[in-house]
Amino acid sequence: MRIGIIGAGQLGQMLGFAANELGIECRFIDPSQDPPAAKCGKVIQSAFDDSVALIALADTCDVITYEFENVPVAVLHSIEGIAPVYPPADALRHSQDRLDEKRLFAALDIPLPNYYAIESRDDMDNAASSLGTPMIIKTRRFGYDGKGQFIIKKIANLDAAWEELGGQPLIAEQFVAFDYEVSCIGVRSISGEIAIYPLSRNVHVDGILRTSRSPVINSKLADKASEYVHQLLDHLNYVGVLALELFVTGDTLLANEFAPRVHNSGHWSIEGTETSQFENHIRAIAGLPLGSTASTGCAGMVNLIEQITGATRKLEVGQLHDYGKAPRPGRKLGHMTVVADTPEQRDALVDIINKSVIKAS
Ligand SMILES: Nc1ncnc2c1ncn2[C@@H]1O[C@H](COP(=O)(O)OP(=O)(O)O)[C@@H](O)[C@H]1O
Ligand SMILES: [Mg+2]
């Protein structure tokens, strides 16, 4: 079997490693030269919307998947007659537009923050009256790692936000004073079998994920999150891994967004569960039975952003994953995962890694 993957970044690389372990070959399409996934399969160097290259990929693969969310939906439609494409294009379509995504949550009775669609400068005032401040303005499309967002602390900031983000479809959201953030990752097979990963507690700094810790010992929250992910997976007739990000306030969960792909907040699953999110994504789309998502211990993951310091490389507390990418401001270059017997031991190891990521000056 051969799987075609649109995108050859670190997610493609980790999918590729998992596929290769299962004896499955991967072929990628990516515009960059020598991307991370080149380590685990042939890369067709081409734009994501180059129809000739995409058709060549679909023609030579048994199934197609994608590792990032900005693949044009039309691209998936153009090849799904040649090879099956998972997750389904409809899931990608909802996740690409924050307004669509929120309407989907609401239709499925998944609780979410209050929001207001913005098309004009006047709508910004209406949003502020409806939601109050603070509120957060986001571009409906193409945002990632906190990009395309503006926090409105007071009404006087509306002009600055409009200056920065106006002229494209926007959405305003109530700013949620959450206790913490979690994500729930689920996987659904072609036959409709579903497996859910233990909840992960995530810390973002400047909109970028810094650390994930799992499991979260709170069965009430875990059950609710699992129920929401089940609803999404079944409703979308989904195949593959899906990640749902949620805000936690007390015992309440509010859905923030979902990603129709393997997710950074599930990287700990490589060492921290019996079957990683990458292996289960491959299993799902390849028509294999899903593997167990049970934890193997208390896992912690620290993202290595902008640089991987010598101090981090020297640590022997966990597993370093170096994606082999050139350093660039804000860029995720790798991560380190630890698995401990207790949450306290795990947190102590995460602290050690966190200290090592700061370069000695
Ligand atoms: N409505 C909100 N209230 C409070 N914090 C928010 C809200 N929306 C986003 N954030 C913060 O910004 C981070 C990134 O926003 P998110 O909507 O997940 O966009 P991205 O696509 O960049 O991940 C979130 O993980 C959270 O920390
Ligand atoms: Mg997010």
Mean residue pLDDT of the chain comes to 96
Q: How far is the CA of 96 from the centre of ligand 1 (A)?
A: 15
Q: pLDDT tens digits, residue range 109-131?
A: 999 999 999 999 999 999 999 99
Which residue is associated with the tokens 């153009």? 78
Quote the CA–CA distance of 337 and 357 in Å, as a whole number. Answer: 13
CB atoms within 10 A of CB 242: 26
Among residues of the chain, what percentage have pLDDT more than 90?
Answer: 96
Q: How far is the CA of 144 from the centre of ligand 2 (A)?
A: 7
Quote the CA–CA distance of 202 and 185 in Å, as a whole number. Answer: 13
* Ligand 1, atom nearest to 148 Cα: 22
Q: How far is the CA of 146 from the centre of ligand 1 (A)?
A: 6
First-to-last C-alpha distance (Å) of the chain: 50
Q: pTM of whole model > 0.95?
A: yes
pLDDT at 144: 87
How is 195-257 classified by DSSP, letter by letter? EEPPPEEEEEETTEEEEEEE--S-HHHHHHHHHHHHHHHHHTT--EEEEEEEEEETTEEEEEE
Whether residue 360 has pLDDT greater than 80: no
Exposure letters 310-324 (e unless 16+ CB within 10 A, then b): eebeebebbebbebe
Name the phi and psi angles at 360, rounded to 5: -65, 135
Q: pLDDT tens digits, residue range 126-161?
A: 999 999 999 999 999 998 888 999 999 999 999 999
Quote the CA–CA distance of 10 and 304 in Å, as a whole number. Answer: 13
Whether residue 361 has pLDDT greater than 50: no
CB 8 within 8 A of CB 26: no
Domains in the chain and their CATH numbers?
2-85 (3.40.50.20), 114-174 (3.30.1490.20), 180-356 (3.30.470.20)
Q: pLDDT tens digits, residue range 5-31?
A: 999 999 999 999 999 999 999 999 999
Quote the CA–CA distance of 105 and 103 in Å, as a whole number. Answer: 5
pLDDT at 145: 86
Burial of 233 (0-12, 13-18, 19+ CB in 10 A): buried
Quote the CA–CA distance of 189 and 282 in Å, as a whole number. Answer: 10
Q: pLDDT tens digits, residue range 257-299?
A: 999 999 999 999 999 999 999 999 999 999 999 999 999 999 9
- Starting at the edge strand found earlier in the chain, the sheet holding 170-174 runs 115-118, 170-174, 135-139, 149-152
Give the H or E element holding residue 22: none
Say whether 30 sits in a helix, a strand or coil.
strand
How is 295-315 classified by DSSP, letter by letter? BSSEEEEEEEES---HHHHH-
State which of 149, 165, 332 you would mutate to test the pocket of ligand 1, scoring each by most atoms of that ligand within 8 A of its C-beta.
Answer: 149
Most confident range (mean pLDDT) of 50-54, 66-70, 184-188 is 184-188
Out of 141-145, 234-238, 346-350, 356-360, which region has the weakest mean confidence (pLDDT)? 356-360
- Closest residue to atom 11 of ligand 1, CA basis: 207
Name beta bridge partners: 80.
none
Among residues of the chain, what percentage have pLDDT more than 70?
Answer: 99
Quote the CA–CA distance of 337 and 341 in Å, as a whole number. Answer: 14
